Structure 1
Amino acid sequence: MTDARRWGVQSEYHDASGRLIEASPETVAAALSALGARDGGEPPPPSALILHPGDGVDHPIEVETEDGVSLRIEGRVGDDVPLGYHRIEGARPGTLIVSPRRCHLPAGLHLGGWAVQLYAARSESSWGIGDLGDLREFGEWAAAAGDGFALLSPLNAAAPTPPIEASPYLPTSRRWRNPLFLRIEDVPGAEVLGADLERIARAGHALNAERTVDRDAVAIVKLDALTRIAEASPPGTEFRRWRHAQGESLERFATFAMLAEQHGGDFHEWPEKLRDPYSPAVRGEARRSRARVAFHAWLQWLIERQLAGAAAALPLMTDLPIGVEPGGADVWADRDLFAADFSVGAPPDLFNTVGQDWAQPPWNPWRLRARGYDALVAVLRAGFAHAMGMRIDHVMGLFRLYWIPRGGSPTDGVFVRYPADDILDILALESVRAGALVVGEDLGTVEPVVREQMAARDILSYRLLWFEEGEPSTFPERAMSAVTTHDLPTVAGLWRGDDVEAQRSIGVPVNEPGIAEIRERLARVAGGREQPAEVIETAYAALAASPSMLVVASLEDAAEVVERPNMPGTTAERWPNWRLALPQPLEDLLASPLAQRLAEILRRT
């Protein structure tokens, strides 16, 4: 009989109220089957040995380092062994990963910054959606005010065909980015289009008239302009060298994008012969449509350039989603890595009483380990690119994930554990190499070991005014602190009661005691002030005075927005999740007295 614990399947857990919950035997059996467990068998062995400077070794190890230097490790890992991924030589070759154990964390860190939903931050120059040009201009404004960074919602790619997924936390790929964020006028060769570009730009600007972001319409005008630019001014040597350096990962993504334009964004609905990226049919389509494959690769190069430009204006913190679309590019390119019959979510808790299903297939932890964590390394490197740091959404997922059988409810799930020590070692290595810090989103039901390991690994916690019992002055130093998040009420929405009214109007269960509790916390901080703008200002002033290394204010609060960007547990028919732009152009918002006062508060001097 298979021991579920050896495979990481946790048949019982304690919920948010402390009750012991047991997973059904059917769900446990299905999880074991998805993991590849056989009766009485063991998980596959690791393909990489992970060590740290100073670790002892019980036998000599001959290695060739990444730089091609041959070394013999005896007794312990000495200072002459560099951090990185090295090749073990001899009778049993393999990979040696040398990790610093701790993530990069600058001494004396004390910064204030902004949380930016980039799609929502439209300027007069936008084509219906906030773009990387808007981010650069926002960064110049924030840097001039003395603010330290911008925390971005994920910029990861969506499938380039209608209906385009709105949620930045449900991308088609965690390795590649969304070309809808391109500032078209900044693309090399755009000026060649002349009057054509002016005509298309007018259509793009017209999309700003509606507050709701229409990604399908944005894609039509932007991809039209980009296609015309590529034809009129073909990419040159710099792009071709960059494309070659990206290797097979970019080619598969670009091939997926080309096929998605023809057959839709879910590969499960494609002709069967195209569902396997290694099939002769896929290779044939890629040859016949080589120009379009090159086009989608070029879009990624353009995003790389524009993101670098925005990062030069203001340090950026990226956001790593917990997973990807089940029918998207990452799953298509590497199906064996995913447990396709499950999706990731969360069991019921005090603020989401029905639980959550995020519709994302989890990685199989044992296949990930057997492959030396190559997919993890690629995702982390993409997240750290051009970034001062990275926020990891649902950091508990590095330790365990809640697997829900596809088609079941969040109450039917089971926790599956991951090789957290290895994952944290690789995270530390990539963080140090990038010179970028790490913040773990540790909200909700958190095992004690998670925060213990975060502290030991120099990963900052994530604390919210809405959830903390004490005043901001009691918040921990090693944290990024905020008032709220994209999934929770804005300050104005909570204070005025609009958020509760919105929940009731669309039939979402309202946690009355929870809302009353966080409103009382806000009232204590507000100190008798009544006007939303005054309450917002005092809340962030209290936050900025906290000991936390990082504090962050949302642009929604600067604009006194009453709607949440996302209402968990709802669909687009009930709430415009991830589609609400800020109610005024970015230029107007940044000129407002409240935004300027918040920028001064965030200077933290």
Structure 2
Amino acid sequence: MIDEYGVQSSWLDSDDQPQHATDETVRRVRELAGRPPADLADTGPVVTRPGRATGLRGEVTCEDGSRFTLDDVVPDDAPLGYHALTTAAGTTRRLVVSPGRCFVPERQSWGWAVQLYAALSSGSAGIGDLADLRTLREWTEAAGGGFLVVNPLHAVAPVTPVESSPYLPATRRFRNPLYLRVDGAAPHRPDVIDRDAVWAEKLGLLRRRFDAEASRPDAAFTAWRAEQGEALERFATWSVLCEEHGGDWRAWPEALRDPASSAVAEAVATRQDDVAFHAWLQWLLAEQLREATGDLTVIQDLPIGVSGGGADAWARQDVLAIGATVGAPPDALNTVGQDWSSPPFVPWRLQAADYEPFVQSVRATIAGAGGLRIDHVMGLFRLWWIPEGSAATDGCYVRYPSDDLLDIVCLESHRAGAVVVGEDLGTVEDGVREALAERGILGYRVLWFEDDEPETWPAGSLAAVTTHDLPTVPGLVTGSDVDDVLAASDMTPDDVRAGRASMLEQLARAGATPADGVDAAVAKVYARLGGAPSLLLALAIEDALGQERRPNVPGTDHTQRDNWSLPLPVPVDRLEEAPGPAAVVAAVTAHRQG
């Protein structure tokens, strides 16, 4: 049942069992969402495709300044893009014309799934960076690979303690300066990545360089900064205010919590050099990313949301449900549910904002790399809202205008020539995968979860053995992953061991057992994966290098475990010397060669 607020109070869980939200949860979620305005359908944006009826008439002014007349049906030759429709009544609405289908590669390829922060080389200053991404790209290309999948590279608050989770960024529009390769930073390789120390060193070096060059500003930076417009200036302003007042705007002096206030303008009036510095960091990131990716497709990850205290939440308070967070109900991945600490978009407020916050997030994440992975793609259909102070189990779903959001993704993919992958793991309602396939958005197939043989998986998918939230093959084979999870999480021993038993069954179907040892098990599992017709075959670098600990245990934080902070065991500029990666590539490609 879905009410006028978009609240879905009943649903089927991951075991297809009916579930119902409590009356109190529904009441609180309705209060947080607010009632949509009655005229939204007549004033909000129209997302459509060439050849479709709209029921509207008027003059359309296109992005490039050209015009055409809309008489209900969108002309087949109508330009794709974000246009303005002026009706006969004189009202103006955004008209989004989408191709309705994403860019899709023509041929199957394999590539590495890598946590960039973990991919240190002999030249890295305590964390994997964009120069290391270039090394990975060149190594992958030389071996015949077609892509890389990397963790989110988005910025966090520029203060300590530095947020370690790539999935809780301050923004989905700008990148993290920690990933800059900085001249003068001392190369070192820690056992556990210390982001606070890395940031302190890089910040000092970058600021000295910026100050030294201030007397001769770079014309390219000046032009780039002007092109980015208000979004960049607001982000840089937020960064400066963070340095003085802390990384959570909700704890700032009240007068600074409104980004458009005179108090904010006054606070940064004497710190324009600092604002310019943070804008300059983003320019350096754009330049280094372009050099790192070259012509290889690098699939960047779009997190489901942002930190409630971060830059995007500060800048777009008007579209967020402050007082709620998103997560997931209990499922096979986590039996106690998950709370990801990100405030959700209010669906009708997002529409009233012409979807612009969503457009900017998608476009910025695709930029410069040629691929997009949408974390928890089911969130474009519905999101699990958890009212503040409630357990992850005490939430309910809120529906989103999925057709519009998916067609916007198609438009951005088409413009960038970027492949799009939708991470559709967990509780997936009927119709989601069909909607993704219709639009050329590749689904996810993870060997640990699939009952069907890889040969039967759809071509329109990315196939993998595991993910950053699941056991590595070495950790599964040795059993060390069980101990790791039990030491860090609240999951019960029975649940964790049952999960391992299920994955060991998949290992057995590949003809492997723990008695075979890690190397043999990895080779057999990836040989089985190689039978999939999936367009993209993602190989976990941790498996290839024998790493037992997974990057992250869901439902835990840095006080319980070194999530998102474990370096790869081999420097990325020495991967050619390691036998594991070549063996994995040989295993996954043998099926096709045979």
TM range (shorter): over 0.9
Give the distance between the partners of 1:596 and 1:553, measured in 2 at CA: 11
Q: Would the aligned equivalents of 2:135 and 2:572 in 1 still touch at CA under 8 Å? A: no
Counterpart in the other structure of 2:91: 92
Q: Would the aligned equivalents of 2:178 and 2:199 in 1 still touch at CA under 8 Å? A: yes
Q: Would the aligned equivalents of 2:380 and 2:400 in 1 still touch at CA under 8 Å? A: yes
Matched, 1:462 2:462: no
Choose the corresponding residue for 2:492, options 505, 509, 517: 509
Counterpart in the other structure of 2:467: 485
Runs (5+) with no aligned partner, structure 2: none
Counterpart in the other structure of 1:550: 536
List per-residue Cα deviations over 1:536-586 (Å, max 9, x = no partner). Answer: 122122212311111001111121110010011112122111111112322
Amino acid at match of 2:502: E
* 1:151 positional shift: 0.3
Matched, 1:162 2:160: yes
* 1:600 positional shift: 4.3
* 1:136 positional shift: 0.2
Residues 263, 497 of structure 1: alpha-carbon distance in 2 compared, 3 angstrom cutoff: same
Matched, 1:411 2:393: yes
Counterpart in the other structure of 2:434: 452
Amino acid at match of 2:121: S
Counterpart in the other structure of 1:381: 363
Q: Would the aligned equivalents of 1:475 and 1:546 in 2 still touch at CA under 8 Å? A: yes
Choose the corresponding residue for 1:62, options 50, 59, 62: 59
* 1:58 positional shift: 4.4
Matched, 1:222 2:167: no
Structure 1 residues 238-317: aligned runs within 5 Å: 238-312=220-294, 314-317=296-299
Q: Would the aligned equivalents of 2:344 and 2:385 in 1 still touch at CA under 8 Å? A: yes
Partner SS for 1:515: helix
* 1:587 positional shift: 2.5
Residues 43, 535 of structure 1: alpha-carbon distance in 2 compared, 3 angstrom cutoff: farther
Runs (5+) with no aligned partner, structure 1: 186-196
Residues 57, 360 of structure 1: alpha-carbon distance in 2 compared, 3 angstrom cutoff: closer
Q: Would the aligned equivalents of 2:524 and 2:587 in 1 still touch at CA under 8 Å? A: no
Residues 344, 58 of structure 1: alpha-carbon distance in 2 compared, 3 angstrom cutoff: closer
Amino acid at match of 1:221: E
Residues 368, 54 of structure 1: alpha-carbon distance in 2 compared, 3 angstrom cutoff: same
Partner SS for 1:158: coil
Amino acid at match of 1:44: L
Matched, 1:52 2:49: yes
Give the distance between the partners of 1:33 and 1:489, measured in 2 at CA: 39
* 1:42 positional shift: 4.0
Counterpart in the other structure of 1:191: none
The percent of aligned pairs where both chains have the same amino acid is 48
Counterpart in the other structure of 1:122: 120
Give the distance between the partners of 2:511 and 2:392, measured in 1 at CA: 37
Q: Would the aligned equivalents of 2:175 and 2:282 in 1 still touch at CA under 8 Å? A: yes
Give the distance between the partners of 1:461 and 1:43, measured in 2 at CA: 35
Choose the corresponding residue for 1:74, options 71, 74, 77: 71
* 1:371 positional shift: 1.6
* 1:75 positional shift: 5.5
Q: Would the aligned equivalents of 2:14 and 2:428 in 1 still touch at CA under 8 Å? A: no
TM-score, scaled to structure 1: 0.93
Give the distance between the partners of 1:494 and 1:13, measured in 2 at CA: 33
Amino acid at match of 2:83: H
Structure 1 residues 142-153: aligned runs within 5 Å: 142-153=140-151
Counterpart in the other structure of 1:193: none
Residues 59, 349 of structure 1: alpha-carbon distance in 2 compared, 3 angstrom cutoff: closer
Q: Would the aligned equivalents of 2:135 and 2:573 in 1 still touch at CA under 8 Å? A: no
Aligned length: 582
Structure 1 residues 532-551: aligned runs within 5 Å: 532-551=518-537
CA RMSD of aligned residues (A): 1.7
Choose the corresponding residue for 2:182, options 169, 176, 184: 184
Amino acid at match of 2:432: V
TM-score, scaled to structure 2: 0.95
Counterpart in the other structure of 2:31: 33
Q: Would the aligned equivalents of 2:512 and 2:525 in 1 still touch at CA under 8 Å? A: no
Residues 338, 43 of structure 1: alpha-carbon distance in 2 compared, 3 angstrom cutoff: farther
Matched, 1:562 2:558: no
* 1:505 positional shift: 3.2
Give the distance between the partners of 1:332 and 1:223, measured in 2 at CA: 23
Choose the corresponding residue for 1:571, options 530, 540, 557: 557
Give the distance between the partners of 1:65 and 1:399, measured in 2 at CA: 29
Partner SS for 2:351: helix
Counterpart in the other structure of 2:581: 595
Counterpart in the other structure of 1:423: 405
Give the distance between the partners of 1:168 and 1:43, measured in 2 at CA: 38
Amino acid at match of 2:523: E
List per-residue Cα deviations over 1:452-481 (Å, max 9, x = no partner). Answer: 101111111100110011232222211100
Give the distance between the partners of 1:572 and 1:219, measured in 2 at CA: 17
Give the distance between the partners of 1:601 and 1:137, measured in 2 at CA: 23
Counterpart in the other structure of 1:520: 505
Amino acid at match of 1:23: A
List per-residue Cα deviations over 1:220-248 (Å, max 9, x = no partner). Answer: 00001100111112341100110010010
Choose the corresponding residue for 1:326, options 308, 330, 333: 308
Residues 251, 499 of structure 1: alpha-carbon distance in 2 compared, 3 angstrom cutoff: same
Choose the corresponding residue for 1:437, options 400, 405, 419: 419
Residues 37, 183 of structure 1: alpha-carbon distance in 2 compared, 3 angstrom cutoff: same
Counterpart in the other structure of 2:572: 586
Amino acid at match of 1:524: R
Counterpart in the other structure of 1:20: 18
Partner SS for 1:520: helix
Q: Would the aligned equivalents of 1:128 and 1:214 in 2 still touch at CA under 8 Å? A: yes
Q: Would the aligned equivalents of 1:317 and 1:390 in 2 still touch at CA under 8 Å? A: yes
* 1:517 positional shift: 1.4
Partner SS for 2:449: coil
Give the distance between the partners of 1:415 and 1:532, measured in 2 at CA: 41
Amino acid at match of 1:134: D
Q: Would the aligned equivalents of 1:146 and 1:600 in 2 still touch at CA under 8 Å? A: no
Q: Would the aligned equivalents of 2:50 and 2:77 in 1 still touch at CA under 8 Å? A: no
Partner SS for 2:47: strand
List per-residue Cα deviations over 1:112-168 (Å, max 9, x = no partner). Answer: 000010000001100100000001011111101111110010000011100111000
